[in-house]
Each structure stands twice: as C-alpha cells, then as structure tokens.
Amino acid sequence: QVQLVESGGGLVQAGGSLRLSCAASASISMFNAMGWYRQAPGKQRELVARITSGDSTNYADSVKGRFTISRDNAKNTVYLQMNTLKPEDTAVYYCYARVWVSDYWGQGTQVTVSS
C-alpha cells in the first residue's frame, strides 16, 4: 500500500504562483508514473500533469507553459509548480501514483485563484 500526502494548496490571486508537493510513503523511483489531477465543482476529474519513471512529462493543454511537474527521488516527492494562475485553475488537486497495475491517490489539496 502506498500513501500519498499533498501539501501546498491555498488561496492566491490571479497571476500568482503556488507549488504543490506530494510525498510518497515508498520509493518513487520504483513507480511507473506519478502525476496530478484536478477536479473543479461540477466537473469531472482531469489530468493536469504526469511524469513517468523515465522522466517523460505530459500536460493538459490548459496548463502548458504555466505548470511544471518534477520529481525528487531522494525525497520521494513530486512537485507541481504552478505559475500565472487563473481563476479557472481553481479546483481540488489530487496526487496519484501508478505502481505496476495499481493506482493510488492522495486526499487532495484545495487551490483557489481569486480574480
């Protein structure tokens, strides 16, 4: 079983920045992939950014050029640097990990961007 704990959410004005962190209870170097999803009220959960064990990354079109995902294997932590935030980025952000055929999720952290 893998536990994922997110931190770094909060309230920020449009144009501001936040960095989310996701700390895993196991060695992330063994994970197939990690990433961030988000879910806004009344909307489906959507992929924001993903990073594989080979450090390949992909992003939702809506965040390309503004968000950056990275990993620190020594700290078993994945980060999401979010710049130039927009009100439409407001959502609960969830960390996830794919380990072999299993998916694990964090509890979520709220990001609110005011206009």
Cα–Cα–Cα angle for 103, 105, 111, nearest 5°? Answer: 140
What pairs with residue 111 in β-bridges?
10, 91
pLDDT at 7: 96
Max Cα–Cα distance, the chain, nearest Å: 41
Give the Å distances, CA to CA, from 54 to 51, 65, 81. Answer: 8, 21, 19
pLDDT at 84: 98
Mean pLDDT across the stretch 69-98? 97
Mean pLDDT across the stretch 69-73? 96
Dump pLDDT digits (tens) for 37-62: 999 999 999 999 999 999 999 999 99
Cβ 20 vs Cβ 108: under 8 Å: no
